[in-house]
Copies of this chain bind each other. A is one copy, B any other.
């Protein structure tokens, strides 16, 4: 059966490179004479039949643009979809509507660019008969089944630039500067930007740490004539026993940033234990915005090209993946569950320790 029409949607938090994937898919589709329908705002557009045909001019200038022109959201789940009943919002399984819409629009294959959540939904829809190709996406780089996700290199660049900036203040004021970065469950961004940005201490969810060890590093530097230090902390890094974050989470919000705030508590602890003046900064959403780095533009382009090729070849139910520098794919059901955390023996952790970076352990 010849493929005539593809669909595409972006789900979950935005990441630099989403538009580059869309552009690559559109270019391959076009040269194959295949139409491309873009569903708006994630799965929401698929349920509500909210879409637009992607024309040449829709993909012009997309390569270097952050965000997603299709819109996204990190809530709407076809299997638990918000529907208004009278004045109330109730959550219903609308997955049949999703499949029905794909059929009615004669979408031969849907390309879903998303993270854990979006691809888990893609897998469930596949089990119900939908023809879907997945493209992995998260700036946190913690997805199973692929070596790297686009957006991560850009986030690391933004974080490293922030570290470069904090360095001059730390040095000028003889302070300890604490930078809090994204990473609820995995410390990839903190680890990479910490090494790239010359951090003295890196605290990540994977490695339990003690304030005393952090203080030792700060004092050791002082002894060497460097009365200032930089601490990088992933938002999901756990505080040592008995400590908790003072700043309250604003009620009803699931926002990673509002989860954050651990850096303020760490800065306070550093002041108490070492006597060094300390300051905290939460980099927040700035990490996920902006124009993608060259690496991310290339990775996103390669993912998009591969996904479109699979779709044209009728190879459904698979996620494209980067393995040892090669783009390949794996069936949805073979993607390991859970979050890809930083292995404790990761070469970069080893290298970091060798050059004297402390992980607080």
Interface residues of A (CB under 8 A from B): 10, 13-14, 16, 18, 23-24, 27-28, 31, 41, 56-57, 60, 63-68, 71-74, 147, 153, 156-158, 160-162, 164-169, 171-174, 177, 192-193, 195-198, 224-226, 246-248, 250, 255, 257-258, 264, 267-268, 279-286, 288-291, 293-295, 297-298, 301-302, 304-306, 308-309, 324-327, 347-348, 351, 354-356
- Find out whether the CB atom of B158 lies under 8 angstroms from the CB atom of A165: yes
Residue of B nearest to A257 (CB): B279
- Find out whether the CB atom of A280 lies under 8 angstroms from the CB atom of B293: no
- Find out whether the CB atom of B301 lies under 8 angstroms from the CB atom of A351: yes
- Find out whether the CB atom of A14 lies under 8 angstroms from the CB atom of B168: yes
- Find out whether the CB atom of B226 lies under 8 angstroms from the CB atom of A302: no
- Find out whether the CB atom of B355 lies under 8 angstroms from the CB atom of A301: yes
Kindly provide the distance from the CB of A61 to the nearest chain B CB, expressed in whole angstroms: 8
Contacts of A264 in B (CB 8 A): 250, 258
- Find out whether the CB atom of B67 lies under 8 angstroms from the CB atom of A169: yes
Which of B57, B226, B291, B301 touches A60 (beta carbons < 8 Å)?
A: B226
- Find out whether the CB atom of B268 lies under 8 angstroms from the CB atom of A165: no
- Find out whether the CB atom of B169 lies under 8 angstroms from the CB atom of A355: no
Residue of B nearest to A265 (CB): B250
In the complex, A171→B23 CA distance in Å? 18
Residue of B nearest to A178 (CB): B285
In the complex, A65→B280 CA distance in Å? 22
- Find out whether the CB atom of B286 lies under 8 angstroms from the CB atom of A172: no
- Find out whether the CB atom of B290 lies under 8 angstroms from the CB atom of A279: no
Residue of B nearest to A287 (CB): B165
Residue of B nearest to A255 (CB): B279
Kindly provide the distance from the CB of A147 to the nearest chain B CB, expressed in whole angstroms: 7
Given known pairs A27-B355, A157-B293, A301-B195, the reply for A224 and B56 (CB within 8 Å) is yes
Contacts of A160 in B (CB 8 A): 294, 297
Residue of B nearest to A251 (CB): B268
Interface of A (DSSP majority class): helix
Contacts of A24 in B (CB 8 A): 351, 354-355
- Find out whether the CB atom of A173 lies under 8 angstroms from the CB atom of B289: no
Residue of B nearest to A293 (CB): B157
Residue of B nearest to A291 (CB): B164
Residue of B nearest to A174 (CB): B71
Given contacts A14-B173, A281-B282, 8 further A-B contacts (CB under 8 A): A56-B225, A66-B165, A68-B172, A162-B286, A168-B289, A250-B268, A282-B282, A309-B354
Contacts of A18 in B (CB 8 A): 172
Contacts of A257 in B (CB 8 A): 279-281
Residue of B nearest to A308 (CB): B354
- Find out whether the CB atom of A147 lies under 8 angstroms from the CB atom of B351: no
Contacts of A171 in B (CB 8 A): 67, 71
In the complex, A196→B174 CA distance in Å? 28
In the complex, A194→B58 CA distance in Å? 21
Residue of B nearest to A63 (CB): B198
In the complex, A249→B295 CA distance in Å? 34
Most chain B beta carbons < 10 A, residue from A66, A285, A291: A285
Residue of B nearest to A191 (CB): B298
Kindly provide the distance from the CB of A42 to the nearest chain B CB, expressed in whole angstroms: 10
- Find out whether the CB atom of A286 lies under 8 angstroms from the CB atom of B283: yes
Kindly provide the distance from the CB of A219 to the nearest chain B CB, expressed in whole angstroms: 16
- Find out whether the CB atom of A302 lies under 8 angstroms from the CB atom of B168: no
